Structure formats: C-alpha cells, structure tokens
Structure 1
Amino acid sequence: MTVLAKKRIPFPRLINAAHCLTPFEVPADLVEAPFSAGKAQVSLEVAEQLSQLIHHVGGEKQIIVTSGYRSYAEQQCLYEHSLTKYGRAHTENYVAKPGCSEHQLGHAVDLGFADTTNDEVCPTFEGREVSQKFLASMANFGFVLRYPKGKEVVTGIAYEPWHFRYVGRPHSEIMCQQSWTLEEYQAFLRDGGEVYGNHDLR
C-alpha cells in the first residue's frame, strides 16, 4: 500500500478525470471528521480547520459532515450504485469515477443540514443563513466550494453546493478572490503566474 506523504506540498493537488489516484493511495493521517457522528474521516489538518470553521459560523447544531474520505473501492461501489439508482446522466454529472474523486485524498467533505434527510450523493446544503455564513468564511479557514455554479465546463462536474475542498491558505483566499476553480488556479500557476505579498498576482 502506498501512503500519501504527510508533509505539506507547495500547492493543492488537483484530482479530476484527467488527474487520478491509484487504488492504493491512502492518506497517512486520517482522523474522525467533526460533526459526522463517527461516520466519516478526513485528514487531521482538515478536521481541525473544519471544526474551527463550523464553530465560527455557529453551525454546531445545524451542520453535519455527510461524507469525507472514501477509498478507491468505496468510490467504485458508490459509482456503481448511483448508476443503478439514478442512471448514467445523473451519475456522470455528480459522481466521480473511482480514482478521480477528491474524497480519496481525505481533503474533501460533503456537508448537509442536521435536521434534514440527506441524500448519499447530493445532500442538502443551500438556502439557509448558516450555509451562507459558511460560504462567506470558508476561505479564511482554507476551504473552497469545489464545484461552483457556472464552472461546469471547467470542472466537468455539475454544481455541488455541498462539496468543499480543503486547499489551505493562502490558496483558498486567492481562489475565492479570483472566483477560480482549482483547475483554473493550477493553470495560472502552470503558465508561470506567481503569488506575491498580499496575494498580488503577476
């Protein structure tokens, strides 16, 4: 089994249909995700920052983590189950193929409201004051909305108001300031873009 390195990498890793993980890659520092009732795991730093963020927005009794880390095998089961239950069109819009899911990194979470029944693929996390506060504050704690509305062509995934990715600061702040997806941010860096003091971009 290959274990992903614990040390911080310079820039957040891009995982999508073109940049996949092997079946054997597993985060080295998985812990219980906060507000998941023991049903989900995430990497340690993600857990710490997410807990602080949820407390910051007063969501302790309103927000739950419906999904965190998923192994390659778990993602394969979810993908096949979604194909059977929802069909190919829905599945290709909302469920990544095995190896192509950020959940395997341990740096992604799906969030839902504690007082609703949340779908396993598409939980409910939109239209309430606490979810708006979460969106407004997430960048300060290293999180971004990974699949925003209007960026479907870029990400290859439909709008998912429940799916958040931990990229760390200052990456989260830059991405939110520029309204960039991780694909767009990586392209900026790949093309020679640099980040200067106070997030000035050149």
Structure 2
Amino acid sequence: MKTIILKKEDVYRGNLVLINKEHLVKMNEGETVAKLVAVSDKDRNHLINRDAAKALQHTLDEINAQEKIVPVSAFRSKQQQTHLYRNAVNDHGIDFTRKFVAKPDASEHQSGLAIDLGENKKKIDFICPDFPYHGVFNRFRAVAKKMGFIERYQEGKESITGISKEPWHFRYVGYPHSVIMVQKDFALEEYHDFIKNYTSADNSYRYECENKEIKLFFIKATAAVQTLCIGDDDQCEVSGNNHDGFIVTLHSCSA
C-alpha cells in the first residue's frame, strides 16, 4: 500500500475547483501564474494552465482547426478581471455585465483553467465571441470533452451557474470528469453535488474506460492533514473542490 497526503490548504487547488460568486478564487495568484504556458507556439499572448494548453492543442490538431478557432481570452489576473468588469459596466451597463462578466475572484479565468474561444474572423467581440453550434465548432465540442474540457455555461443552467449561456467559454476539468458531465448534462456545480454521494474507493462512482475501471469519490476535509491509502500499483489524482474537500480520481489495478 502507499499513502497519499491530503492537506486542508489544498482544497483550493486542482483542476476541479468550483469558482463562482459563492466560491471565490482562494489560490495564490503567483502559484497559478507559475503553471501557465502559452496557448500555442503561434500565440504567446494568451496563457493557460499547462495541462489545459496541451489538451486544447490536441483537440485543435485532431479536428484541423488551428486557423478556424482562435483564443480570445485566457488567464486574467485579479487586476485584469477588475478592469474588465468596470469597463463592461461603463460600456454595456450593469444588467449586461452581470450576465456575462464575473466579478473579481469569481472568475474562472483567474484560475488559468478557462479559455474563451471564437471563430477566426476580422472582427471578434472580446466579451461575447461567436462560437456557433455547427460544423467545426461542434466537432471541437465533441473532441474537447474527451480531452478534459466542458462548455461551462450552458442554456438552461443559468439559475445554477449564475452566468448566462456562453457557447465560447470552455473550462478544463480533466478526464473522465468532462465526459461524465456531458453524459449526465451536469453543470460543474451539479457534478460537485453528485460526486459527494460517493465517499470512498469502496463506495465510488465507477467509470469504465477501455476495459479499465476508474473510481471517483469525495473526501471531506476534516483536519489539517489527512491520509488516503491506495494500492502500490494504483494511480491517483486529487483535486480540491474549492470549498470543503477533495475529489479523488483513482485508476485502480484491482477491481
């Protein structure tokens, strides 16, 4: 057996952190910046989390869309988010801004895990870029979910997410969480509630992938330091939920 150390401070770190007006960004900005890379060799202006960048490039390469789909907005510092929010209020009014722009520390863009994408054309709206539901754009959605991305703000989920439909906004959460969310039509908020029903490796949500089983479960943070014991050959990924615990992804070698 091997032991995984879970520190309460890590509740605010990881690919599955929930960021919204109730759950603000808590991770140190410098720590986030240290994990950022350029979206691509051609685009050094937009930065995102290293894992998200790799998944994005694989997706665009697979559908041959490097020249058709372009980054519009990626990582933003708290200062940049503050300026964006103020400018949106000044230019578009408070009602529009509340629908499409998060307040500072309530924006996923500050995590480095979110990116706004748009159709590559002469004029691109920075706040609401075009990303339609047809052709190469839907092919992107189909492949992106297998690479760990979700379309974060969907129609019909506004009362849950607090944000209007944004076809252009994609959030990296990692695989297989992205596929499960799409299959079950979950917003990230709903997925967090769902996974809390599973509280151990024995009582886990089990996802089958290429004849292998992935166990997913939640561990509540109850102490400054906790431990999780797994098999010697098992692989484990742990993400905080940005609130009260950890989501565990266990690639188990035993049934």
CA offset at residue 61 of structure 1?
Answer: 1.1
Partner of 1:41 in structure 2?
47
Aligned residues: 196
CA offset at residue 137 of structure 1?
Answer: 1.4
Unaligned runs of 5+ in 1: none
Partner of 2:75 in structure 1?
69
CA offset at residue 128 of structure 1?
Answer: 3.8
- Cα–Cα, structure 1 residues 99 and 37, in superposed 2: closer, same or farther, change >3 Å? same
Q: Which deviates more from structure 2 when the two are superposed, residues 191-200 or residues 105-114?
A: 191-200
Partner of 1:30 in structure 2?
36
CA offset at residue 163 of structure 1?
Answer: 0.0
**1:14 pairs with one of 15, 18, 39:** 18
- Cα–Cα, structure 1 residues 110 and 142, in superposed 2: closer, same or farther, change >3 Å? same
CA offset at residue 35 of structure 1?
Answer: 7.7
Q: Is the 8 A contact 1:64 1:111 kept in 2?
A: yes
CA offset at residue 113 of structure 1?
Answer: 1.1
Deviations 1:156-189 (A, max 9, x none): 0000000000000011011011010100000112
- C-alpha distance in structure 2 between counterparts of 1:86 and 1:144, whole Å: 27
Q: Secondary structure at the match of 1:140?
A: helix
Amino acid at match of 2:19: I
**1:196 pairs with one of 199, 206, 217:** 206
Note the aligned Cα RMSD (angstroms).
2.3
Q: Secondary structure at the match of 1:157?
A: coil
Which structure dedicates a bigger proportion of its chain to strand? 2
**2:150 pairs with one of 144, 148, 160:** 144
Partner of 2:100 in structure 1?
94
Q: Which deviates more from structure 2 when the two are superposed, residues 14-23 or residues 65-74?
A: 14-23
- C-alpha distance in structure 2 between counterparts of 1:22 and 1:12, whole Å: 14
Amino acid at match of 1:37: D
CA offset at residue 36 of structure 1?
Answer: 6.8
Q: Secondary structure at the match of 2:195?
A: helix
Unaligned runs of 5+ in 2: 1-8, 209-213, 218-255
Partner of 2:193 in structure 1?
187
The percentage of aligned residue pairs carrying the same residue is: 36
Q: Is the 8 A contact 1:35 1:60 kept in 2?
A: no
Q: Secondary structure at the match of 2:179?
A: helix
Amino acid at match of 2:206: Y
Which structure dedicates a bigger proportion of its chain to helix? 1
Q: Is the 8 A contact 1:20 1:99 kept in 2?
A: yes
Amino acid at match of 2:145: A
Q: Is the 8 A contact 2:195 2:216 kept in 1?
A: no
**1:159 pairs with one of 159, 165, 169:** 165
Q: Is the 8 A contact 2:113 2:172 kept in 1?
A: yes
Q: Secondary structure at the match of 1:162?
A: strand
- C-alpha distance in structure 2 between counterparts of 1:14 and 1:120, whole Å: 24
Higher relative contact order (CA 8 A, sep 6+): 2
